[in-house]
Amino acid sequence: MERLFAGLDISTQSAKLVLLNWAKGSIVYEDSLNFDHDLPQYGTKNGVVINKDSSISESDPKMWIEAVDILFKRSKNKSIPLDQIKSISVSGQQHGLVALDKGGNLSRPFSKLWNDFSTQNECDLLEKSVGGRSAMIEEVGNSQRTGYTASKIYNIFLNEKDVYDRTSVFLLVHNYINWYLTGGIGTMEEGDASGMALWNPVNKSWSEKVIGSIDESLKTKLPNVRSSKKSIGFISESLAKEFGFSLDCTIDSGSGDNMYGAIGTGNITPGLVTISLGTSGTAYTFLEKPYVDPSGEIACFCDSTGNYLPLLCVSNMANGYSNYLKQNSLSHSDFDLLIDKSEPGNNGKIIIPWFDGERTPDLPDAAPIYFGFKPEDFNREVIGRALLEGHIQNLYDGFRRLPVKPKKIHLTGGMSKSRSWCQAIADIFSCEAIPLENEGAALGAALHASWVWYNENREPKEINEVVEPFIRFNNKLLSKPREEYQKIYRDQNKLFSSLSKRVRGQDSEDPFKLFHQMVKR
C-alpha cells in the first residue's frame, strides 16, 4: 500500500488539489477548478459575489465546500486510490471570516474576505479603543487593517447583532474546510490566526484588550489556537464512506495560503524571498524570531513550521494586468512582445495601480493614478509597461521595509509564468528571480501533510528533508537584474515613492522634477 498525501488550496478564485507520494518523490495527481466558470450558480466574478458596493468582497463558504467535493469526486472517478491518502492538509486564503451557529450551520451566509475594504470604521474604533496604532501593534503585532479579521467580527457585532448572537464559533477559511473534513472540529493554528489582528503572534495568545474592545463574550466564540505542526483529527466517517478515504486519514492543522506558499516555494531558511503574483501580491521571508514593524505595513505572521513569516501584501496585482489582457485580447506571450517594444523605465510614465483601494499602503479608498502620460502615450505599449512596472514598483515600495536583503527571489502564482514579469521583478528588485514549476500553496499543503504525518508516526523528518526534493524551478525563466537598466529603475523607485507619498499628504521629493530627470535620458 502506498502512502499518499493531499494538499487542498482554497484561494480567492479557485480550488486546487495536489496528491503526492513523498517516498517516491512524485506528484501523482493535480486538479483545479475555477469558481466563476465551474460553479456559475454562485454568481461570482473573480471568486467574489458581485456587489453594488465595491468596497465589499464576500463569498459563499458553501461554494468552497462544493468545490472540495467536486475535486474529490473527480479524483475518485479517475480511479485515484483515495484510500491510500494518509493525511490531508488545507491551505486557505487568509483572513476571511466564517461564522457558524451551534448546529454547525453558517450563521452568516457570506464570508467577508481578505480584500474586503468595508470595515475601516471598525479598524479606527479598535485602534482608538486600545490607545492608538502603536498600542495596537504592541497588542497584536499588527495594525488594524480592513483585510484582517478583527474588524470583520466587529462589523458583525455592530451591524448584524442577531448574526453575532447566533454565532457560536468564528473560523477562518481553512479552519472551516477542516471543520467540514473532520465533521465538526473547529480549531485554529498559529499561522492563519496571526492574520486576525486579534491574536498576538509574539506571545501567542488572544489579545484581551482587542477582544474587550469588541465584546467580552467574544472569547467564548473563539476556538483554541494550536500548534501548526500537528494534525487536528481524522476524516469524518461520512466523507470516508462517500469517497473511499481510509478512516485513519488524518486532517492536518492546515494554514494560510502564504504560510503554505512559503513551504511550496522552499522558503524555509533565512535569506530567501518568495513573491507570489496572484489575486494579491505578497512578498515574504523566513525568520526564526518575530519581526514587528512599527508602522504596521509589514505583517507579523507566524509560519506553519514553528517560525515566522514577515509579509508584505498588496491587494492590487492580477486585477490590472488581467483586465488589460482581456480588454486588448492579448495572451501572456502577446504581452511579452508588446513589452519588448517599449523602454524599461517607460520614459517616466507610470501607473500607481490602486484600482480597488489598496492594502499596502493602507488606503481602502484609494484610486489609481496615471502619471506622466502625454496624449500620444495612450497606446498599448506604453500603458502595458506602465501597468507592469507600476504593479511591481507598488510591491517594491512596501518590500523595502521587510527585514531582509534577498539572496534570491522565488516566484509563484499566475504571473510568474510570464517572461516580462520575471524580468521586471529581477530588474526592479535588483535580485535574481526564478519561478517555481508547481503551484506553491497546494504543493506546500501536501508537503506539510507529509511532514506532520511522518513526525506523528514515528518516522521523524526535518522540514527541509521533506520539502527540498519537491522544489523544481522553471530554469527557462531565470531572470537576472540587467546592469544597464539599474540606474533607470532606481530613479523609477524614487519617482513611484515620491508620488505615493505626495498623494498621502507626506513630504517627498518633487515628482515633477524626478519625472524630468528620467525623461532627459
Sites of contact with ligand XUL (CB under 6 A): 11-12, 93-95, 114, 147, 195, 256-258, 280, 282, 299, 313
Q: Do residues 272 and 451 touch, judged by C-beta distance below 8 A?
A: no
Give CA–CA dist 406/429, Å, rounded: 9
Q: Which CB atom, from 147 or from 406, has the smaller least distance to ligand XUL?
A: 147
Cell numbers linked to 99: 461564522
User: Long-range CB contacts (< 8 A, 24+ apart) of 38-44?
Assistant: 38/67, 38/70, 39/63, 39/66, 39/67
If you search the block for the grid coordinates 448584524, which residue do you land on? 160
Q: What angle do CA 325, 384, 53 make, to 5 degrees?
A: 60
SS3 180: helix
Residue 160 C-beta: closest distance to ligand XUL, Å: 23
Q: Which CB atom, from 396 or from 489, has the smaller least distance to ligand XUL?
A: 396
Q: Which CB atom, from 310 or from 384, has the smaller least distance to ligand XUL?
A: 310
Give CA–CA dist 346/356, Å, rounded: 24
Residue 472's identity, in one-letter code, is R
Residue 147 C-beta: closest distance to ligand XUL, Å: 5
**What is the length of the chain?**
521
Q: Do residues 308 and 347 touch, judged by C-beta distance below 8 A?
A: no
Alpha-carbon torsion 340, 345, 350, 354, what sign?
Answer: positive
Cβ-based neighbours of 72, under 8 Å, separated by 6 or more: 17, 82, 239, 242, 243
Q: Which CB atom, from 11 or from 89, has the smaller least distance to ligand XUL?
A: 11
Q: Which CB atom, from 282 or from 479, has the smaller least distance to ligand XUL?
A: 282
Give CA–CA dist 209/140, Å, rounded: 10
Residue 145 C-beta: closest distance to ligand XUL, Å: 9
Residue 337 C-beta: closest distance to ligand XUL, Å: 30
Q: Which CB atom, from 236 or from 412, has the smaller least distance to ligand XUL?
A: 412
Q: Which CB atom, from 85 or from 392, has the smaller least distance to ligand XUL?
A: 392
Give CA–CA dist 397/422, Å, rounded: 17
Residue 258 C-beta: closest distance to ligand XUL, Å: 5
Q: Which CB atom, from 89 or from 347, has the smaller least distance to ligand XUL?
A: 89
Cell numbers linked to 293: 514593524
Question: What are the angstrom distances between the C-alpha of 202 and each of 123, 124, 146, 193, 197?
Answer: 21, 23, 21, 12, 12
Residue 277 C-beta: closest distance to ligand XUL, Å: 11
Q: Which CB atom, from 61 or from 256, has the smaller least distance to ligand XUL?
A: 256
How do strand 188-189 and strand 225-226 relate by DSSP bridges? parallel
Helix (H), strand (E) at residue 77: helix 61-77
The C-alpha R_g of the chain, in whole angstroms, comes to 22
Q: Which CB atom, from 58 or from 257, has the smaller least distance to ligand XUL?
A: 257
Give CA–CA dist 361/301, Å, rounded: 18
Q: Which CB atom, from 167 or from 280, has the smaller least distance to ligand XUL?
A: 280
Give CA–CA dist 262/242, Å, rounded: 33
If you search the block for the grid coordinates 494579491, which residue do you land on? 280
Residue 469 C-beta: closest distance to ligand XUL, Å: 26
CA dihedral 121, 124, 128, 134 (to 10 degrees): 170
Give CA–CA dist 228/191, Å, rounded: 7
